[in-house]
Structure 1
Amino acid sequence: MDAMQAFILALVQGFTEFLPISSSAHLILPSQILGWPDQGLAFDVAVHLGTLLAVVVYYRRDLWAMTTGAGRGLVERRMNPDLKLGLLVVLATLPAVLGGFLAKDLIEHQLRSAWVIATTTVVFGVLLWLADRAGKRTRGMDSMGVRSALLIGLAQAVALIPGTSRSGITMTAALALGFRREQAAHFSFLLSVPVILGAGLLKIVDLVESSTPVHWGYMALGVVVSAATAYVTIVFFLKLLERLGMFPFMVYRLILGGALFLWLI
């Protein structure tokens, strides 16, 4: 991997992590189609750290409120809205953690193929649009409960399959449950914090155990570019979400999936 490839991959990661179009698919495809070398563990850690920084900075007030809400709940020994939201985020994260632990080998060795990505890109793109079209879009974050969080969390576990899109399927589930678009995206992005953090920590462990040399310059480039791109993407996606809806993302996914099938055939 050279500097230009590192820059492009970091740009792609930052741009696609929070859009409902699957970042994993876009990072796998360059090696599958263009013959680029695998970016390696160190670079994976870097771009995950970059996108994590972006979402933490953007939602710093929400994350701080959940942290202080947990402290108040422990002191006062009673539930409060911020503590409740934090607990729901934890609950919705558990299915993905369990699924990743149980299906790690299957995902890494059997499902990281262009055929799988093409199929999931199309199927889950259509489901996203159907949920957006059919959903009532009346519920706010205050109506999020255990059942809703658990169902969204189960959907997030499916996103372990490459091409599904973690943000896409969690928003699909939230929209199908009747949440407004902005609220669906809000909860989806909050869920990304523990998921990206957990994935990054696992990759760091693998990196420490690996003997592969680390190119610190490429890592720094990956962090900076992915963080800046992801932050800008979050800002503009949330501003345009109500106006655009999910139709453009379905169209993009259909075009991408269709192009992949044509290339594979």
Structure 2
Amino acid sequence: MAILLLTATATLATPAAGSDKLSADLNIFQAIFLGLVQGVTEFLPISSSAHLKVVPEALHWGDPGVAFTAIIQLGSIAAVIWFFWSDIVTVVTGAFTAIGQKDYRSLEFQMAVGIVLGTIPIVFFGLLIKIYIKDFDHSPLRSLGALACASIFMSILLGISERIGRRDRDLHKLKIIDGMWMGLGQCLALIPGCSRSGATLTAGLFLGLERAAAARFSFLLGIPSITLAGVSELKSALETGFSGVSVVSLIVGTLSAAVFSYLSIAWLLKFLQTNNTFIFICYRLAFGTAILTAVAFGGLIN
């Protein structure tokens, strides 16, 4: 699939003569397609940031811009909150009830505290990056070669977690310490191409959680960090403006991201109940290798 996306797209979009790439102005089809890419890759353990950078480049659409990617990410945020709304209400109300009854061993209290403590590391290190790396969006870490290496590295790490993880604990055996460790793993998502869901799922498997339980808690743990990141990127986008992107494209891209995010969450949770993560391990390895190959032969510009 990765090779198909990167090399077999010339018939879909060919650069105009005398131009290196098409304008970044997005039509409706492109907005819907990029919304699909955002929705599918945000929650599958394959990295949305990598795909949103590589796919438009491979299709010669140009960079859709920070504003567009920030706005359509709101669709993914809405989808995960929508999907897990009952879980969110249960955890929050259950945690307050546990505090009132001093029942600190309750599952809801353990999950709530685990999510709060697990969110602190990525917020802390994210702020450090904002403060000390002023132009992080154009740093070498965001080059295609770096994205490819991150994808390959995470495929290996996920493979190791599949190999040595016990997978003998379900969601009801979750502890505060699990949230803290998965929160530390989530910090890998600050490296473009690593994947937030991939990093937390991998951490959950290392901790001995069942695949579906690790994925479900990964999504719940990710709600605060995804929301904070989305709001931060939206703020930056509003400051820089929306040049090259129409309001209609923004709307359809966001709706597309919301729909496909919801579907990908539902599919992944069901898939992991009876399957391992081997398909994602292979995909990430192929994706990273395809990028490096395309860069090496001039198909993509690093």
TM-score higher than 0.5 = yes
Larger Rg: 2
Deviations 1:139-186 (A, max 9, x none): 122333333222211111011111111111111111011111011001
**How do 1:178-193 and structure 2 match up within 5 A?**
178-193=208-223
Deviations 1:36-85 (A, max 9, x none): 23223432233211111111111111101122124324544553432321
1:69 is paired with a residue of what secondary structure? helix
* Structure-2 change in CA distance of 1:53 and 1:212 (3 Å): closer
Distance, in Å, in 1 between the alignment partners of 2:149 and 2:96 is 45
1:159 is paired with a residue of what secondary structure? helix
**How do 1:52-63 and structure 2 match up within 5 A?**
52-63=77-88
Report the equivalent of 1:72.
97
> Is 1:149 aligned to residue 174 of structure 2?
no
> Is 1:249 aligned to residue 257 of structure 2?
no
> Is 1:101 aligned to residue 131 of structure 2?
no
Distance, in Å, in 2 between the alignment partners of 1:54 and 1:147 is 27
> Is 1:89 aligned to residue 119 of structure 2?
no
Distance, in Å, in 2 between the alignment partners of 1:210 and 1:22 is 25
1:218 corresponds to which of 240, 249, 274: 249
| Residue 108 (structure 1) shift | 2.3
Comparing 212-221 and 239-248, the one that deviates more: 212-221
| Residue 198 (structure 1) shift | 0.3
CA contact (8 A) 1:107 1:161 kept: no
**How do 1:1-265 and structure 2 match up within 5 A?**
1-73=26-98, 75-76=100-101, 78-79=103-104, 80-104=106-130, 105=133, 107-110=136-139, 111-213=141-243, 215-265=246-296
**What amino acid is the match of 1:103?**
I
**What amino acid is the match of 1:123?**
F
CA contact (8 A) 1:32 1:114 kept: no
* Structure-2 change in CA distance of 1:52 and 1:44 (3 Å): same
**What amino acid is the match of 2:109?**
L
| Residue 102 (structure 1) shift | 1.0
Percent identity for Structure 1 against Structure 2: 37
Q: TM-score, normalised by structure 1?
A: 0.92
CA contact (8 A) 1:122 1:254 kept: yes
CA contact (8 A) 1:107 1:160 kept: no
**What amino acid is the match of 1:90?**
V
- Where structure 2 has 5 or more consecutive residues not aligned to the other structure, the ranges are 1-25, 297-302
**What amino acid is the match of 1:161?**
I
- Where structure 1 has 5 or more consecutive residues not aligned to the other structure, the ranges are none
CA contact (8 A) 1:21 1:253 kept: yes
Comparing 146-155 and 229-238, the one that deviates more: 146-155
CA contact (8 A) 2:80 2:223 kept: yes
| Residue 217 (structure 1) shift | 1.1
Deviations 1:103-162 (A, max 9, x none): 233742321110111101111112112211221000122333333222211111011111
Distance, in Å, in 2 between the alignment partners of 1:131 and 1:75 is 38
Aligned pairs, number: 265
CA contact (8 A) 2:115 2:221 kept: yes
Distance, in Å, in 1 between the alignment partners of 2:238 and 2:256 is 23
Deviations 1:186-242 (A, max 9, x none): 111112211111011112222332344563212211221111111111111111113
| Residue 4 (structure 1) shift | 2.0
CA contact (8 A) 2:155 2:285 kept: yes
CA contact (8 A) 2:148 2:288 kept: yes
